[in-house]
Amino acid sequence: MGTGLPTELPLIDIGPLRTSAPGTPAFGEVAREIDRACRRYGFFRIVGHGVEPERLAELDRMARTFFALPERDKSRVAMERGGTAWRGWFPLGGELTSGRPDHKEGLYFGAELGTDDPAVAAGRPLHGPNLFPTHPAGLRDAVLGWMVAMTALGHALLGAVAAGLGLPADWFATTVAGEPTVLFRIFRYPPGDDEGWGVAEHTDYGLLTILAQDRHGGLEVRGPDGWLPVPADPEVLVVNLGDMLDRMTEGRYRSTPHRVRNTSGHERLSFPFFVDPSWEAVCRPLPLAGTPPADDAARRWDGASVRAWDGSYGDYLTAKVAKVFPLLGRRLG
C-alpha cells in the first residue's frame, strides 16, 4: 500500500492566530497543526482567516470585467510598459513554466512604490509602481486592499510556522522577512484545457503562497502516490511553501511541486499572493535539531537543489523571473 497523500489536504482553522497571543495553548495547537502539514505535505488549507468573502467577490468581479475587455484595451497596461518593475498584463501563452507557455493570461502586481522610493530610484529590479487600468476603475482599490489583507495574514502564518519550528514567533519578522517581498497575481484560465497544462509542474520561490480560487478547480499537488486534486472553495484559502522555506529547514519542509489544468468547462480565476523574504535577505539554514533529510534535488521537477543556492533572495528571484519572462530577463541582464 502507498504512503501518499490522503484524499484531501489538511484543513486548519487558524482563528486562534487572530485571537490568541504566541505562547498560549490555542496558538501553540495551530502552530503544531501547521508544522505537521508542512512536514508531510508542504500544502494545507485554512479557514478562520478573517478575510471577508465580500472582499474576494469584489476582486473577482473586477478581474472578470478586465479580462473580458478586448486585447487592445488590456494591452494599455501590458507588462512591457512596466519595464523592469515586472508589473502589468500578459496575454494567453505569455508566461513560461518549465520552458513551456502557460495556458493562461494574467495581471502582475507588487508593492505599490513611487518613482521616489529609494529602491526604485536605485533601479532595483522588480520594484516600481503598479499598472492599473482605467476600466474597471475599482480594480485598483480591490487589488491594494487584498494585498494589505494578505500581507497581514502572511505575517500571522509565518509566526505560526516559526513557533511550529521551535523558534520565537517573531523570528521571520526580525530576520529574513522584516520587509517581505510581496507579489500578487490574478490568473485567468480559459475553458477547454484538455491538451496542455494551464501551468506545468513547478514550485514557488519564496516563503509562503496564499491562494484564493473561484469555484472551478484545476490545482493539483504532487504526492508520493501521484497527483492530488485540491478542492476549489472561495471561502477556503490554500497555503503552500516556497523554495526558501525548503532551503532554510534543509528539507524538513518541502516546496511541493504543483500544476494546474482547467478541465471544468468554465473560465477559472485564481489569486496567488506570495510572501517572500526581504530582497537583500540571505536565507541560511535554521538552527533546528536533528539530522535533515537527504537533498531531494534529483526528484525535483527541475533537478535543481535549493540548498546549493548562494546569494540574496533578490538574486534568486531575479534569476527565476528571467526564465519565466525571457524578454524581461534580457532587460534585467
Domains along the sequence of the chain with CATH: 11-332 (2.60.120.330)
Q: What's the pLDDT tens digit per position in 110-132?
A: 999 999 999 999 999 999 999 99
Q: What's the pLDDT tens digit per position in 267-277?
A: 999 999 999 99
Contacts of 85 (CB under 8 A, 6+ apart): 110, 120, 126, 127, 128, 129
Closest Cα partner for 198 from 267, 144, 143, 139? 267
Strand partners, 297: none
What pLDDT is recorded for position 128? 95
Contacts of 243 (CB under 8 A, 6+ apart): 203, 204, 205, 206, 255, 306, 316
Strands 226-229 and 199-202: what pairing? unpaired
What pLDDT is recorded for position 194? 62
Helix 139-164 with 53-67: angle, nearest 10 deg: 130
The list of the chain residues with pLDDT below 70 reads 1-7, 193-196, 224, 333
Q: How far is CA 56 from the centre of its chain?
A: 16
267 in Cβ contact with 275 (< 8 Å):
no
Q: What's the pLDDT tens digit per position in 247-297?
A: 999 999 999 999 999 988 899 999 999 999 999 999 999 989 899 999 988
For residue 119, which phi and psi values (nearest 5 degrees)? -65, -40
213 in Cβ contact with 260 (< 8 Å):
no
What is the chain's Cα-based Rg?
19
Q: Calculate ∠ Cα 136-199-257, nearest 5°.
A: 125
Strands 88-90 and 105-110: what pairing? antiparallel
DSSP 8-state class, residue 278: -
Separation CA 140–CA 77 (nearest Å): 12
What pLDDT is recorded for position 4? 45
SS3 (DSSP) at 215: coil
What pLDDT is recorded for position 148? 98
Separation CA 262–CA 268 (nearest Å): 7
